[in-house]
């Protein structure tokens, strides 16, 4: 009988395709090596063992394996009386005992009895019974009525230890290669096990319904979720369905082998996929959020994640609010949330709005600190002076920090009186501390108008400080009209003048300085003649230098009014 492998076309697999020469040679060599060392009797379904030792209760036989086999004396007639070394018996291998001896049986196994049955089973791809007789190089030897080879990769076991446990066991398998001429048979057990598992899974899958609560063991963890074994059926528990709280990594809350109960969310029979939910077994936190969280309430939470536009804060498992970047500070414009907050921070915030249907909540961080504009009208009334740093320069003016969270604008025209500025940066720089006067304040619009030049001392400031109502002063008439005139009391000090009846302007004016009127005025003053005090007042003309009396003086408003003497 030739057991050498050959790459001829008659060596085919179960599908009928020619097998690679390398695989055929490998399997053929294994079979040849095994058959030469374990050649059975023609047509035998059992091993022939030779008694090598008889103990008090057992008989040890050489069955051609590395280890001996053992039979209890009770398996023999008359309890083994008369059995002696050298006697031969046909036996079957059942397995191994604690001493690593093969446990033997004298019973036969019902299996195909001829090649015709094997050819029929091969052609129809039927499953057949087989008995594992031993572990050999590359796999297992099995008895299907004839000697057959079961490759280790197709045994359905994971390691050599599990393979040894199969020795003596009856299994079901399918013939994948049959060569009658060379009496070479190769079988596959793994395919049968997979089909049985698939059939069992399909049966169990058909019994499951969406909404069922099932129990299973976590079999594998991935970044996107956990796989759960439901007894031969794998189901996916997505990371978003593990908890109402945000879960970054399934390993943080689950472990392989952990037993869990979950709810079936979806079953796809075509793809045999099951989606599970763990959090769905707990109440939905947002269902009560509308009654629990109201706009204006203060809350405390933990920063769970930061984005470019804001920070998410967990108030309780499953309830998150978002602090927009614009709601983080009264004082400065926050460009990145990470400039103010970091993940894990505990923060106090004010609820700005709650949208229960959309599961959204807007929070404010700066509102929890209090609105600095709330009492700005009392702290900074118009006319008051403030001091603070320049926070920003624009083409139209400079922003000055009046207090924490309160800024005012100094228009470019209100920065200085000394010169005309093309840009505020020509006179100021960011961070420079300046003094300014409050011109106007609008808390609702959060706007304040300031002036720096109003606080710069002028000749008018000095003039009103040195004079009082009733003081006699002299000045030059700048403009005169019916009922009023404008008088210059000093450089840049222009005031209104009341005109008495009969002292109005002349119908015609020279437009220049009236030297004769000045001469007459001085003569009257110096000589003090009797007629001087009773002379009729000379009409006002532009350019005249005359005497006046202060009739109204408002130091706060820096306003003066005079009348001609």
Over the stretch 97-124, which tens digit does the pLDDT of each residue have?
Answer: 778 788 888 875 444 456 888 888 999 9
What the block records as the tokens of 360 is: 């959204």
542: nearest Cα among 475, 494, 480? 480
Q: Are 502 and 548 found together in one domain?
A: yes
Close Cβ partners of 198 (under 8 Å, ≥ 6 residues apart): none
Task: Report how many domains make up the chain.
Answer: 5
Q: Is residue 81 part of a domain?
A: yes
Exposure string (b/e) for 98-112, b if CB count within 10 Å is 16 or more?
eeebbbbbeeeeebb
CA-angle at 349, arms to 343 and 350, nearest 5° = 150
Q: Are 463 and 515 found together in one domain?
A: yes
425: nearest Cα among 388, 391, 393, 449? 393
From 281, 305, 337, the end of a domain falls on: 281
From 182, 197, 223, the end of a domain falls on: 182
Q: Is residue 526 part of a domain?
A: yes
Q: Which of 21-25, 300-304, 540-544 has the highest mean pLDDT?
A: 300-304
Q: Are 42 and 97 found together in one domain?
A: yes
> Would you state the pLDDT for residue 170?
87
8 pLDDT more than 50: no
> Would you state the pLDDT for residue 254?
92
Burial of 19 (0-12, 13-18, 19+ CB in 10 A): middle
Please give the Cα distance from 138 to 35 (Å, whole number).
Answer: 14
For 422-461, write each residue's pLDDT tens digit: 999 999 999 999 999 999 999 888 899 999 988 876 777 7
More confident residue, 66 or 474: 474
> Would you state the pLDDT for residue 24?
40
- pTM as predicted: 0.41
325 pLDDT more than 50: yes
Q: Is residue 479 part of a domain?
A: yes
> Would you state the pLDDT for residue 45?
53
What the block records as the tokens of 87 is: 């006697």
Please give the Cα distance from 319 to 246 (Å, whole number).
Answer: 10
Q: Is residue 194 part of a domain?
A: no
Query: Is residue 58 a contact partner of residue 70, using CB atoms and an 8 Å limit?
Result: yes
Helix (H) or strand (E) holding 519: helix 515-527
> Count of H helices and E strands in the chain?
9, 30
Q: Is residue 347 part of a domain?
A: yes
User: CA 391: distance to chain centroid?
Assistant: 34
* Mean pLDDT of the residues in the chain: 81
Q: Are 404 and 275 found together in one domain?
A: no
512 pLDDT more than 60: no
Q: Are 68 and 144 found together in one domain?
A: yes
HEC string of 183-222 equals CEEEEECHHHHHHHHHHHHHHHHHHCCCCCEEEEEEEEEE
Close Cβ partners of 165 (under 8 Å, ≥ 6 residues apart): 95, 96, 157
Please give the Cα distance from 271 to 235 (Å, whole number).
Answer: 12
R_g (Cα) of the chain, nearest Å: 55
Q: Are 467 and 339 found together in one domain?
A: no
User: CA 267: distance to chain centroid?
Assistant: 28
523 pLDDT more than 70: no
Residue 353 sits in which domain range?
A: 290-368
555 pLDDT more than 90: no
Q: Are 167 and 311 found together in one domain?
A: no
Q: Are 26 and 173 found together in one domain?
A: yes
44-48, 97-101, 479-483: range with lowest mean pLDDT: 44-48
Burial of 11 (0-12, 13-18, 19+ CB in 10 A): buried
CA dist 82 → 54, 91, 236, 481 (Å): 10, 18, 64, 160
More confident residue, 31 or 116: 116
Q: Is residue 6 part of a domain?
A: no
From 368, 392, 416, the end of a domain falls on: 368
Residues paired with 170 in a beta bridge = 131
Q: Are 161 and 35 found together in one domain?
A: yes
> Would you state the pLDDT for residue 29?
55
């Amino acid at each position: 009988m030739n057991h050498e492998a050959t790459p001829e076309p008659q060596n085919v697999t179960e599908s009928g395709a020619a097998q690679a020469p390398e695989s055929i040679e490998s399997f053929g060599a294994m079979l040849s090596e095994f058959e030469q060392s374990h050649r059975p009797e023609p047509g035998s379904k059992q091993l022939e063992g030779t008694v090598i030792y008889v103990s008090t209760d057992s008989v040890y036989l050489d069955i051609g394996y590395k280890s001996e086999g053992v039979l209890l004396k009770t398996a023999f007639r008359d309890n083994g009386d008369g059995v002696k070394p050298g006697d031969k018996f046909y036996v079957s291998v059942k397995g191994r005992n604690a001493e690593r001896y093969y446990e033997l049986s004298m019973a036969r196994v019902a299996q195909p009895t001829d090649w015709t049955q094997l050819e029929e089973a091969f052609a129809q791809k039927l499953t057949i019974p087989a008995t594992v007789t031993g572990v050999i190089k590359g796999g297992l030897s099995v008895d299907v009525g004839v000697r057959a080879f079961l490759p280790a990769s197709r045994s359905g076991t994971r390691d050599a230890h599990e393979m040894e446990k199969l020795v003596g066991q009856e299994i079901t398998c399918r013939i994948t290669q049959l060569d009658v001429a060379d009496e070479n048979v190769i079988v596959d057990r793994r395919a049968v096990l997979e089909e049985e598992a698939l059939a069992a899974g399909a049966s169990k899958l058909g019994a499951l319904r969406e909404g069922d609560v099932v129990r299973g063991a976590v079999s594998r963890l991935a970044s996107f979720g956990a796989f759960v074994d439901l007894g031969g059926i794998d189901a996916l528990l997505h990371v978003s369905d593990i908890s109402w709280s945000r879960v970054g990594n399934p390993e943080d809350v689950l472990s392989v082998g952990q037993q869990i109960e979950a709810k079936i969310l979806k079953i796809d029979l075509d793809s045999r996929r099951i989606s599970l939910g763990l959090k769905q077994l707990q109440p939905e936190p947002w269902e009560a959020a509308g009654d629990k969280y109201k706009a204006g309430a203060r809350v405390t939470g933990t920063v769970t994640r930061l984005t470019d536009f804001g920070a998410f804060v967990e108030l309780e498992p499953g309830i998150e609010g978002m602090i927009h970047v614009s709601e983080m500070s009264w004082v400065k414009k926050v460009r990145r949330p990470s400039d103010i907050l970091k993940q894990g921070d505990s923060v106090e915030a004010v609820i700005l709005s709650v949208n229960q249907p959309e599961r959204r909540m807007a929070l404010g961080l700066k509102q929890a600190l209090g609105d600095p504009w709330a009492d700005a009208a009392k702290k900074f009334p118009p006319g008051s002076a403030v001091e603070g740093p320049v926070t920003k320069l624009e083409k139209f003016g400079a922003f000055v920090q009046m207090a924490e969270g309160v800024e005012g604008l100094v228009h470019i025209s209100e920065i200085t009186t000394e010169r005309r500025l093309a840009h505020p940066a020509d006179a100021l720089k960011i961070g420079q501390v300046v003094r300014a006067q409050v011109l106007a304040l609008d808390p609702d619009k959060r706007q304040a108008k300031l002036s720096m030049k109003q606080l710069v001392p002028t000749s008018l400031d000095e003039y009103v400080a040195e004079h009082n109502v009733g003081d006699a002063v002299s000045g030059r008439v700048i403009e005169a009209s019916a009922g009023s005139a404008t008088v210059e009391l000093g450089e840049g000090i222009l005031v209104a003048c009341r005109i008495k009846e009969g002292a109005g302007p002349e119908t015609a004016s020279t437009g220049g300085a009236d030297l004769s009127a000045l001469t007459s005025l001085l003569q009257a003053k110096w000589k003090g003649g009797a007629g001087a005090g009773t002379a009729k007042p000379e009409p006002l003309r532009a350019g005249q230098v005359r005497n006046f009396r202060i009739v109204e003086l408002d130091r706060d408003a820096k306003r003066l009014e005079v009348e001609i003497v």
